[in-house]
Chains A and B, each alone.
Chain A
Amino acid sequence: MELDELKKSWEVLDNRLKKKELIDEQTLSNLISERTKQTRSSMNKILLYAKTTLIVGFLALIGLGSYLLIADYNNKEFCLWLFIWIMLCIGMAWDSMGYMYLKSIDIEKMPLVTVIKKMTAYHRNFIIECFVAAVFFLSAFVIQAFCIQLFTLNFVSILIFSIVWIIGCIVAIWIIKSLFYNKLRNIKRNLAELGELNQD
């Protein structure tokens, strides 16, 4: 399609919109008064969510850390809890960085290219986070298998455990693929457009 055709369509839309009142003063006034009661920005919601996750994670870290200090090292499941504790530490550090990163986005002052770069990186990191979380759960499952000494059990138990593990893998991959396919495509597109700037 030529740009001129696009422009014509845009002008038609603009002319139609001129005749309409999109938002009335009462609605605007309600919106402002609601704003003074509480902050409803989606970015603030995300920051609040990140803050809550950090607090809960921190508490879990202390609780599990205390348990590990007094736990019996020879206990079968000690290595599993230690693995979870280490992953929790890494997850907390990652979350803190994400929180600081989102906080640094200033939509009022930052030019568009900067916001696009930051948001693309944020979305990409979110997908990486999901992959890592999936790997973490699968690893925890494998470690648990060693903890309970799966290989010493009978054939049926090993078979059931393996089937559950394979189904878990398939479901995890399917969820990630279907949930993030569009996101990944958009990220790729945004990165390509930003990459063009470096070529210019």
Chain B
Amino acid sequence: MNKDLEREFTACIKEYERVIYKVCYLYTTKSASLNDLYQEAVLNIWRAFPNFRGECKISTWIYRITLNTCISFIRKEKNIPEIVTLTQEAEWLTEEEDSFREMLAELYRLINNLGHLDKSIILLYLEEKDYAEIGEITGLTVTNVATKLSRIKDKLRKMPHN
């Protein structure tokens, strides 16, 4: 039974690994590395996995847990041993051409000028989630989401381009 659950979980993570990665990437800070956040998010999904009853789409559920994990992540210990090491990822990034890395840095810089809520909304928008799903994940009404997005667009427009 446990093995079945593990297999199901592994398949689920494999399907949504890019989603988890992208969310964690945007919430990476000096005190919370990509590996830390990714590992924490995967662990929290695993912990909650047996309780998932399919009341919402699994993608909605994964976004919610991953975003909540990143927002509530506080590091108390300096040297937590890493189990998940996204080494391939770090390597491939250095292999990429400069223009791509610059574009990524600019994307990161712009989105990181926003606070937690706006950052989450813009991230979900970029992931092509509709207003209803963004509302379901964030706890906002559809009207709130629309107003917020329009405000974020204004904020982004005013940000200086590097």
Contact = CB atoms under 8 A, between A and B. Distances in A.
Given A111-B139, A112-B117, A31 B96 contact: no
A86 interface: no
Interface residues of B, number: 72
Contact of A45 (B76, B86, B122): B76
Interface in B119-162: 120, 122, 125-126, 136-140, 143-144, 147-148, 151, 153, 156-157, 159, 161
A152 B36 CA distance: 56
Interface residues of A, number: 55
A35 B18 contact: no
Interface of A: 1-3, 6-7, 9-10, 12-14, 16-18, 20-23, 25, 27-32, 34-35, 40-43, 45-46, 49, 105, 107-108, 110-116, 118-120, 186, 189-190, 192-194, 196-197, 200
Interface of B: 6, 9-10, 13-14, 17-18, 21-22, 36, 38-40, 42-44, 46-48, 51, 64-65, 67-69, 71-77, 80, 83-86, 88-89, 92, 96, 100, 103-104, 106-107, 110-111, 114-118, 120, 122, 125-126, 136-140, 143-144, 147-148, 151, 153, 156-157, 159, 161
